Amino acid sequence: MTQPHLRIVDNPHDRAAVRRKDEAWLEERWADPRTRVLVVAGTRVQPRDGALDWVSPAEAPEGVRVLLGERDEAAWFAVVTGVELAQAGGDWAGLRDLLTPLAEGSLEGGPLLLHAIGLAEWLFVTRFCPRCGGGLVPRASGHELACTQCGRAQFPRTDPAVIMIVAAGEPGADDERCLLGRQAVWPEGRFSTLAGFCEPGETLEDAVRREVAEETGISVGDVEYFGNQPWPLPASLMLGFVGRATSTDIEVDRDEIEEARWFTRAELRAEAESGRVRLPQGVSISRSLIEHWYGGPLPGHW
C-alpha cells in the first residue's frame, strides 16, 4: 500500500531529459495538438473545476518554455511567466494549497506539478550568476541557466533535509517513547517530528544526530533510513529516518523548538483523540514516520 506522503508523486512521467536540447523534436511536439501545457505565473497555477488547467500550446502565453516530459503518449510542458499574470486576476494557487487534494487523489498530476513548480521556483529566484553577477538566460528547456558574461551554467537546486522520528526504550515495548516537538509560531497543541538541513561535508545520519542534539539536547545513536519525499517548497528533498535515543533529558534550544515531549503509544493516542495534540496531515512524510513508529493510523491532523 502506498504511504500517504507518496501519493503526491504517484504515476511519474518520463522526464525525457535527452530531448531538452533537441530543438527539432521540441518544435514538433509543441505543434502536436495532443501536447498539454501548464501555465505557471511566477510560482502559482490556476486550477479550474478542481483540476489542473492544462491548455494547448496555442492557448499558452509567452514565457519560459519548460519540457516536463512524456506521459500517455503525449508531451507535457510548462510555460513560466511573470507574476503579473496572476496579479491581473483569477484564482491562482501555490503548491502548498494543492498538496492536500493531491494526496487525497481529488487532484491528479502530482509529479508533473511538482516538476513544474520546482523549476518555476528556481527560475524565479535565480536571476544573476553567483560567480560574476552577469545576467542569466534559460537553456535545455528551462533546466539550465547560462551566464551571458562568463558562460557558467547554473542548474536547479535540491536541498537535502533530514526529518526523523526519535524513539527511546525497548522497541515495541509498552513504555517505548517517541520524541515530538513544536515551534513557537505554531498554534498550541501542534506537534511534529524534528527536521533540519544537511550541512556541507556531513552524512545524512550525522545530520540527524546533530539536528536532534541542537534542538532538544537528546543524543542519538543508531539511525535507520525510512524513505523520502520531494518537497519543492521551495527546493527540498525530505529524507526520513528513525533514530534511537541514547539519552532522554530534554533541553530545547528555544530558537527553532519551543517545546519537545516524549510520548508512549498510549499517551500519543489519547492526546491525539482528545485534540490536545494535533499531528501533521498525511501529505507529509512526518505523519508517515509517526504512524510507522506507532504501528497504525492515528486520529486528527492539523
Cell of 77: 510542458
Give yes or no for residue 189 having a pLDDT over 60: yes
User: What is the pTM for the complete model shown?
Assistant: 0.93
Q: Alpha-carbon distance 249 to 287, whole Å?
A: 24
How does pLDDT run across 121-157, given as a tens digit for each residue? 999 999 999 999 999 999 999 999 999 999 999 999 9
| pLDDT, average across residues 42-55 | 94
DSSP annotation string for 262-291 = EEEHHHHHHHHHHTSSBPPPTTSHHHHHHH
Burial of 45 (0-12, 13-18, 19+ CB in 10 A): buried
Identify the pLDDT of residue 155: 97
Give yes or no for residue 103 having a pLDDT over 90: no
How does pLDDT run across 228-243, given as a tens digit for each residue? 999 999 999 999 999 9
Give yes or no for residue 253 having a pLDDT over 90: no
pLDDT band at 1 (very low <50, low <70, confident <90, very high): low
pLDDT band at 50 (very low <50, low <70, confident <90, very high): confident
pLDDT band at 2 (very low <50, low <70, confident <90, very high): low
State the alpha helices, DSSP H only, in 181-254.
Answer: 204-216
